[in-house]
């Protein structure tokens, strides 16, 4: 189960990033966080940009509604998505 917080139309949750994967994809849940494999290396923000692109594509929202609020240089990040409910988060996991 992914731990999340929903306030004022914003869904906040943890993401565990695995950089330098063969391709970017959401792979499931790990210790209460959404686990995402990222094809980009963790240099100069490339992995963060790829994470935002991957999440936007998965949730079918624009990239500017997704914000990394903590953990910019860590594998464990806190992400906030505006206009997304918890049902969308659980729906992503059921499609994996």
Residue ranges of alpha helices (H) inside the chain are 46-59, 86-94
Per-domain residue ranges for the chain? 4-94
The pLDDT of residue 4 is above 80? yes
Write out pLDDT tens, residues 8-48.
889 999 999 999 999 999 999 999 999 999 999 989 999 99
What is the value of pTM for the model shown? 0.90
pLDDT on residue 51: 97
pLDDT on residue 96: 63
DSSP secondary structure letter of residue 33: E
Fold designation for 4-94? Conserved Hypothetical Protein Mth637; Chain: A; (3.30.1200)
| Helix pair angle (46-59, 86-94), 10° resolution | 90
């Amino acid at each position: 189960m992914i731990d999340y917080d929903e306030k004022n139309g914003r869904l906040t949750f943890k993401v565990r990033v695995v950089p330098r994967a063969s391709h970017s994809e959401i792979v499931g849940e790990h210790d209460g966080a959404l686990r995402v494999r990222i094809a980009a290396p963790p240099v100069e923000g490339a992995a963060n940009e790829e994470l935002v692109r991957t999440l936007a594509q998965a949730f079918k929202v624009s990239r500017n509604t997704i914000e990394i609020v903590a953990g910019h240089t860590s594998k464990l990040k806190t992400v906030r998505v505006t206009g997304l409910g918890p049902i969308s988060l659980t729906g992503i996991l059921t499609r994996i």
